[in-house]
Chains A and B, each alone.
Chain A
Amino acid sequence: MSVIELSDLRKEFTVRVKTGRLRRQKRTVRAVDGIDLRVERGEMLGYIGPNGAGKSTTLKMLTGVLMPSAGRATVCGLRPVADRTRLALRIGVVFGQRSQLWWDLPLRDTFALLRHIYRVPAAEHAARLARCRGLLDLDGFLDTPVRQLSLGQRMRGELTAALLHGPEVLFLDEPTIGLDVVSKQAVRGFLAELGRAGDTTLVLTTHDLADIERLCERLVVIDHGRVVHDGSIAALHRRYGSRRMVVAELDAALPAPPALPGAPLHRLEADGRRLVFALESASVAEVVAGLAGLATLRDISIVEPDIEEVVARLYRTPADG
């Protein structure tokens, strides 16, 4: 059995739109419009989409916060809303813009409190806390009231709070939003460690695709409440024809554009002195060797496909999933 199973999951909201001085019109917004998804134990899933695509709404339905309008969802074999409190013992949740911490208390007290709330045996709690303290470098601010913490410090506290009961599934909604580069790296590094242990299933929504590239092998892209891509990042590049590029700078332009097998010419720049080849079946070495026979090479560089660009394209093109 998969840890998370969604079948035809839907959530509709009715909103009232002002159309006149007194008149209001009801409109139905399909925030999540029929999502099917299975996530296996230990998977790290990146769940992305533009603003309003339905990412957070999906996560809220999986954590028992929101009741689905239709369809089925199970997490750890439980129905999130009906079995909310039982499920809560087995999942961890970090909402980047919702705090689980007690504002006026030091982190240390929040953690002690969570031990009671989640009914965790003292020894287990202490072991996990010790581990998080080391990995997330909490010791410098464990006794500071949460309201005085920086965003990065607070987020490290949130992560710890979500893990102290040893959840099977960790849901993270924008865990790096607003963080500085150093804190972002710390959070990513920590999550990568967690993923390497292979025990925890991780579902991550983010706007920062670097999070996904660093952490997730599987990427689910949603737009307008539907899945438009489900697969690896490499598969996404293949599907949308984004390839690695070889950029060659020559001393002088060639009389005719060169034809290299397995690496079609993508672009000519700088009056023909800069050539951009798309790598299909050829290797970088083959391209370099082929060019070296034709002209004097001044510089060679390789450009990795830009995931941001691919995803942006994905949002614009209506896909049937």
Chain B
Amino acid sequence: MAEPATLTGAPAPAQRPRPGAQRGAGGALRAYRALLGAQARSQTAYRTSFVVDLVGNVGATAFDVVTVVVLYGVTRELGGFTLRETLVIVGLSAFAFAAADLLVGNIERLSGYVRTGLFDAVLVRPLAALPQLLLMDLPVRKVSRVAFGLAVLLAALASARIEWTPARVALAVVAPLAGIVFFGAVFVLTATVSFYWIDSGQLANSVTYGGRDFTSYPVTIYGGWFRALFAYGLGFAFVSYHPALALLGRADPLGLPGWVGWAAPGVAGVAAAVAALAWRVGIRHYRSTGS
């Protein structure tokens, strides 16, 4: 190409930006929506693989549910819970995890973003880093999993012979949302480790996916220190087990009081706050890579 021509009379490229022009929440929201749109277009650019992924993704979640059903083929009760009761736990866990995985799960690629320099590119844009990363890489194909998880949850709630009260209806709505927030916080929290230690993926996976499997069963089937750590140390009991007890109107075989089931939103809030703090601190420790 030729050397550019001189530009007398052309508008200056660098007019002073006018601070305040289209600033504020509305502007940022439009920006995030545009990011999401771009992501959807990028993914559907490979149409066949998108459809294959859409179908394949249901498989993974369906497998988790089938495992539970198969287990009940050999035993009538698991940790003191029947199949119908356990399915409420499974549904809560599957839906919350699938939705959190869709919305926040790709943050586990953070170490990759750090390595490739995408994270630097994100930091020089006038938007918060975390939402940008999530929207730029939102795995739209995982929508099918969320739909499947929701179907399992609704079917389980319908067949569990719950005595519905207004409070329980509210809990049936709030508990899955709290579960999404909780799993989302776990995703973010484990991903921030890669600000300090780039090859931390396996450790992160053992907590997030370990947590998902843990929440698919009544905590009574686990023993000793393992249960104490995952259920109450890390808080996974509040995703599905305790809300399910409250919905079913069952006392906790382990002896915790009934109100614990209603504490899920509070626990999720605390987890989100811790994750947000860790993220902020992590960004300050971010070291970037190479040139």
Mark A residues whose CB is within 8 Å of B.
13, 55-56, 60, 63-67, 81, 84-86, 88-91, 93, 95, 97-100, 102-105, 109-110, 112-113, 116-121, 124, 127-128, 131-132, 134-137, 145, 163, 165-168, 173-174, 182-183, 185-186, 189-190, 193-194, 197, 199-200
Contact = CB atoms under 8 A, between A and B. Distances in A.
Given A84-B123, A186-B3, 19 more contacts: A55-B291, A60-B288, A63-B123, A63-B124, A65-B124, A65-B286, A103-B42, A105-B38, A105-B42, A109-B41, A119-B23, A131-B11, A166-B17, A186-B2, A189-B4, A193-B7, A197-B7, A197-B14, A199-B14
Contacts of B285: 67
Contacts of B121: 95, 98-100
Contacts of B290: 56, 97
Contacts of B34: 112-113, 116-117
A65 B290 CA distance: 13
Given A97-B117, A119-B31, A189-B4, A90 B17 contact: yes
A121 B21 contact: yes
Interface in B39-90: 41-42, 45
A186 B19 CA distance: 32
Contacts of A163: 13-14
Contacts of A145: 45
Contacts of A197: 7, 12-14
A223 to B, nearest CB: 16
Contact of A200 (B4, B13, B35): B13
A168 B16 contact: yes
Among A103, A109, A119, A132, the one with the most B-chain Cβ atoms within 10 Å of its Cβ is A119
Contact of A166 (B2, B16, B117): B16
A66 B13 contact: no
Given A86-B126, A109-B41, A113-B38, A65 B3 contact: no
Interface string B12-37: 11111101011100010011011101
B169 interface: no
Interface residues of B, number: 47
A99 B120 CA distance: 9
A59 to B, nearest CB: 9
B120 A98 contact: yes
A95 B13 contact: no
17 contacts: A55-B291, A56-B291, A85-B128, A88-B127, A91-B124, A97-B290, A98-B117, A98-B120, A102-B42, A116-B30, A119-B22, A119-B23, A131-B13, A135-B7, A167-B17, A194-B14, A197-B7
B118 interface: yes
B1 A186 contact: yes
B190 to A, nearest CB: 22
Contacts of B35: 113, 116-117
A257 B268 CA distance: 89
A193 B6 contact: yes
Contacts of A183: 1
Interface string B107-132: 00000000001101101111110000
A65 B120 contact: yes
Nearest to A138: B1
A85 B37 CA distance: 22
Given A102-B38, A185-B3, A189-B4, A117 B126 contact: yes
B13 A194 contact: yes
Interface in B123-150: 123-128
Given A66-B286, A84-B123, A113-B35, A89 B17 contact: yes
Contacts of B126: 85-86, 88-89, 117-119
A67 B285 CA distance: 7
Most chain A CB within a 10 A radius of its CB, from B13, B38, B123? B13
Nearest to B119: A65
A44 to B, nearest CB: 13
A73 to B, nearest CB: 15
A135 B13 CA distance: 11
Contacts of A112: 34
A167 B7 contact: no
